[in-house]
Structure 1
């Protein structure tokens, strides 16, 4: 059973889309067809789709003039989908290849992969997404009745004129890591998940996809690409939230990554934009010392605006120490009294310290306003 239900979507996205379909089961005339597309896209095996189709066929006993089904009673296939949603947390993800006998015997059990292997897995991923219609909105459908006049290479070149990125050349990806990373970002902006489809059986044409969702497509893409990148030594992954969403950012430990994700989602009208921009500056691909210093300066400004709050909640000396770093070490101001001869690595510590302090101040404000 476990091996017959294997997810290739992020679990939270699968649960959200399944719940949405169940809630709209009375409103969608093609509800079953949408479910079939979702099941085919979400799982790596055909078992979930086939089970759903068997239940659907078994319930197709109606004739003209029969009363409409009771909207408050789930049909067999609807109940099956609801049961699937209820056990979604126990469904396993698609795994990576396990080592074979001689690999285990030789002790080659390192999970890290080379850039060449990453390029190979990325190529397989893009091929899979293409077959599932994720690039059909931008590349078109090359139908025998209506051949597409879109050249995918031209679409890619219009976004990235500096390199020959399409079609994917696995060997070239390993030789030129910059082009590989650029292509990852370019395709993020192009993928879009289809929500509906129709089958065209003329001359082996196949499925035509439509009603595309960029947000779903990009979420699936980011999750899939990050699973590849996390096994490399590149130290990069696609950002999930913030103004740099879909761009490669430097990887930190899980606790700091979670902190950054929480902070880019905060809703404070006066400071949320500043914080999101600071995070994008700090974790950007190719970040410089100047970028990190600017990010720290932006966070120091947010803390300055909340200085009175911190004065009320912390001992005055402790509150002042928060700004001593920014004022004394060439972060917030530039003058002759500031210390400039220090290791730039300290900027990392200052940034995360300030970001965590802003989160602390958010919590203090929420508590005082009765929101926490």
Structure 2
């Protein structure tokens, strides 16, 4: 069974004002490692952010518990400085970020200019074990068509600079201003993957390997593929189920590779358009079905994804758990929907942050393998 771990980029806010708090570097410096649980806390590009690195897990239930533990620990660390952490992928209100005083970040800001100065978004990075770099490339080739669906399920960033953007994941739009972002190409071999990587590094557009920001990539530090396309999720259970679904997708892709099943041939420019739609519409309208390359109701496309990985989910005994939680997302909405509902009821973006803070630290009941599966209901296409 493949292990999988997650990294969550969380927003740091003042405990009383609920406005961004520029003390992330100080919080991370004082509390970098939680020995008992194996969680790590690191600074990100901007002071208003913290990243929680969760230890690898082997089950969906374990992943949920780990995410909840990581969020609670980061929140306790932030409290030492009068702050809280909240799982928002963009800041709803206006903010002027403060760069973390580290050499690499200073270099990035000097090179990328306003793109770096304005960069304050939170992603969910999912690491799944692979047994070789060749397997990693084969996995990337086969999961790339499903990355827009993962983005739609995670969407949690409708607001930007005091405005409703009309997007469900506006984080993806702002993040895409960086070079070397977006869907990975179809490689076919580790040699082609390495040639592209070396060509990009020789161009000196990315300053180093860490700035190859594609939606999925082979990790240089661990024996994993790293799926970087999702927003950080408002609810811990949403993050856990998307991570479990991703793990099953990686395992399915690896099995297909070993069986000689070719990847779906979708050009990168076309896949980029599919991802833009997922960023714009979330799960409330249409997504593109990778098998038909045509728009379809989001619920149908998500169901197609679950059906694709169903044998692995059943083998891992996570089929009912995943079905139940994904059905919840389709029925009750992603973080983007919940943020908009909070604003609709209160009319104040500060109340959006307050509601998100509650949701971030909501403790779910343990996920039982015997949990009753909820019926998946395709989402209506709606107006676009």
Band the TM-score falls in, shorter-chain normalisation? under 0.3
- Structure with the largest fraction of helix: 1
Q: TM-score, normalised by structure 1?
A: 0.23
State the structure with bigger RCO (CA 8 A, min sep 6), 1 or 2. 2
Who wins on radius of gyration, i.e. which is larger?
1
Q: TM-score, normalised by structure 2?
A: 0.23
